[in-house]
Amino acid sequence: MQIWLNYLDQILIMTTLGLSLNVLLGYTGQVSVASAAFGAIGGYTMGYLVTKNSVNIIWTLLLSLALALIVGALIALVAMRLSVEYLILLTLAFGNVLIGVASATPALGSTYGIIKINSEPHELNFFGWTMARPVDWLLPLFVVLLITFFICWRMGESAYGRTLKGIREDPVATRSMGKNTFKIQIMVFAITSALTAVAGAMNAGWLGVSTPSVWGFNFSLTVVAIVIFGGMANLKGTLIGGFILTALDPFLRRVIKMDPAKAFLVQILIYGVLLVVLVMVRPAGLMPEGRTVSSFFRRKDKSGRTEMIARTASTAEPVFATRKSEGAADQATRHAKWEQAEVVLEAKGISKSFGGIVAAADLDFVLKKGTITALVGPNGAGKTTVFNLLTGNIPPDSGSVTLRGKNITGRSLDAAARQGLVRSFQDVRLFQRLTCLENVVFGVQNQAGEKLSTLFGRPGLVKANDKASYEKAMEWLTFVGMQDFANVPAGALSYGQTKLISLARVLSTEAEVVLLDEPASGIDTKWVDNMLDLVLAIAAQGRTVAIVEHNLRVVTELADHAYFMELGRITAEGTIDDLTNSPRLAAAYFGTV
């Protein structure tokens, strides 16, 4: 009986490790094979403090957590700037170096590691609960599992978790909505490292040893397999995956009665086969993201999703906003209004070169309150680059950008968004696995649940704020006529509909200055008038709008003022009629439209 309790202890430990990794790998999309390394930090901390200094297990766990939190943050400072391939190599190298250092340190037992952690005179106890037998470990390990699950669930299934999914799907789009992805990634890496160290400390106490052989690559591989097998970004799937994969060892050794060495090899083989089969049959894991335990045991009902996708592709059409009266004015009247309007954003001497290619050369222009300004010109003129320079997605080589008199030159993309300057993208960049409503609520600023201190410290405020954020997002979905598609995954939409969701997401930020990159491109011709209505309605709200657009009709209908760009330079400005009446400009661009 004791041996089966030992295996149950092991299942609890490995599942706990899987939960923390799932937040990093499943929710945030950061691939790490450092579970063994951070587990070793906890394991060696436990062994050293207990055997050398007789420190209480509670203090040992807290010190393990703090040490791993610091080390994890330092590793993340480097790791988050790397591509996936180099991130894997870095975390793998970190594990090897850590074990190498431990193996060369006499105080940590050198190659033999630390042994007799839970034996006289160093018996462990958990709040007075003596842990001498396998059964004694069940409750403490279960408590640690519950705490870890709660922390991971709170982080993953909240506004904070929505940001993590945004980082996973598209970091640039996430930053464009005002989210500081670098800071968040460091925090997540550090917190999951700390949780892993606590589980590692418990593992060392349960085993009674912390040796280099315990924290090998196979340890990390098992934790990764648990996450992938159970389902990424699904913590309940991790519980199932942890039980199944960890139970393989006792099944092979105790039920089938295999030789231990042979059982180990068969176990690795089964891991590989299961993962291959899973990738082919169910690539999202046993419990894909968003699935519940009840749906796991019944046949999936596809009728609702199929119906939504069908509506997306055919009959359902948005109910668009109404064109405001300002749109009916002639160009001269609109331009006169533009001349009298207040300057909100001003660019002076903006320049940017990429090697010998001049993308922007000494650009001067202004955007004014409640008006629509267009950047027009041939392909390659640098129009989209201007948006990148204004928002900080690309830092300028020289020049300045001021917003309401405040210098924002070179600010990061997320900082510019928080200052009230937000852009859309020509290629839309929606979060494909999130619903339309989740995409739009992503843009709502200052959500209480996006701060960890508030998320864990003020749950009532977070709940109320989350409800208000969804209501606000629904208002913007209704504004663009897509309210009936709130629960449809963005990946199921037509291209024209993604443009509308993208517009709603930008508007949900309530930014004062909105930069729209080709809002009407790729849209069905029957929808173009509706998109014009929406953009005019945005300006009628008093927002400052700038558009990059190739469609001459769209620019003519919308623009109060236009700048003509050629080879990174502004060569003309005025009304669209002024620009189209120039033979040179018409030959350069307009005549080809």
Residue 360 — φ and ψ, nearest 5°? -150, 135
Per-residue pLDDT band at 353 (split at 50, 70, 90): very high
Residue that terminates a domain, selected from 205, 225, 247: 247
Residues 126, 30 share a domain:
yes
CB-based contacts of 580-587 (< 8 A; 24+ apart in sequence):
580/552
For range 530-557, the mean pLDDT: 90
- Determine what percent of the chain is predicted with pLDDT higher than 70: 93
Residue 295 lies in a domain: no
Q: What is the DSSP letter of 489?
A: B
d(CA 551, CA 535): 14
pLDDT, residue 253, reads: 78
- Residue 299 CA neighbour count, 13 Å, CB half: 2
Would you say residue 441 lies in a domain? no
Q: Which domain CATH number covers 424?
A: 3.40.50.300
> Are 242 and 373 members of one domain?
no
What number is the average pLDDT over the span 306-331? 53
Q: How far apart are CA 141 and CA 207, in angstroms?
A: 13
- Tell me what pLDDT residue 326 has: 47
* pLDDT at residue number 319: 67
- Tell me what the mean pLDDT of segment 562-583 comes to: 88
For the ranges 169-183, 339-353, 371-385, the lowest mean pLDDT is seen at: 371-385
Indicate the pTM of the whole model.
0.90
Query: pLDDT-based confidence at 271, cuts 50/70/90?
Result: confident
Which uninterrupted H or E stretch holds 148? helix 134-156
Token digits for 141?
A: 């390990």
Q: In terms of domains, do 152 and 243 share one?
A: yes
The CATH number given to whatever domain includes residue 47 is 1.10.3470
How far, rounded to the nearest angstrom, does the alpha carbon of residue 303 sit from its chain's CA centroid? 29
Closest to 570 in 3D by CA, of 344, 342, 349, 398? 349
The CA-CA-CA angle for residues 473, 476, 479, to 5°, reads 155
Whether 240 and 333 map to the same domain: the answer is no
- Looking at the fold, whether 329 and 196 belong to one and the same domain comes out as no
Q: Tell me, what's the pLDDT at 296? A: 56
Domain assignment present for 222: yes
Q: State the pLDDT at residue 99.
A: 92
According to DSSP, the residues that pair with 367 across neighbouring strands are 345
User: 362: Cβ–Cβ under 8 A, 6 or more apart, which residues?
Assistant: 349, 350, 351, 399, 569
Strands, sheet with 398-403, edge to edge from the N-terminal-most edge strand: 357-368, 343-354, 398-403, 406-407
Q: Are 557 and 327 in contact (CB under 8 A)?
A: yes
pLDDT of residue 325: 42
Please state, as a whole number, how many other Cβ atoms lie within 10 Å of the Cβ of residue 574: 15
Rounded to 5 degrees, φ, ψ at 353 are -125, 145
Which band of pLDDT confidence, cut at 50, 70 and 90, is reported for residue 560?
Answer: very high
- Among residues 190, 224, 247, which one ends one of the domains? 247
For residues 462 and 452, the answer to whether their CB atoms sit within 8 Å is no
Q: Please provide the average confidence, as pLDDT, over all residues in the chain.
A: 88
Work out how many domains the chain is built from and give that number: 2
| Domain termination site, one of 247, 279, 300 | 247
Q: Is a pLDDT exceeding 60 seen at residue 590?
A: no
Q: Is residue 388 part of a domain?
A: yes
Structure confidence at residue 482 (pLDDT): 92
Confidence of residue 294 (pLDDT cuts 50, 70, 90): low
Element (H, E) at 399: strand 398-403
362 sits in which H/E element: strand 357-368
The predicted structure's pLDDT at residue 128: 73
Same domain, 236 and 343: no
Query: Helices 2-22 and 35-53 sit at what angle, rounded to 10 degrees?
Result: 120
Q: Name the residue range of residue 67's domain.
A: 2-247
Give mean pLDDT, residues 216-243: 92
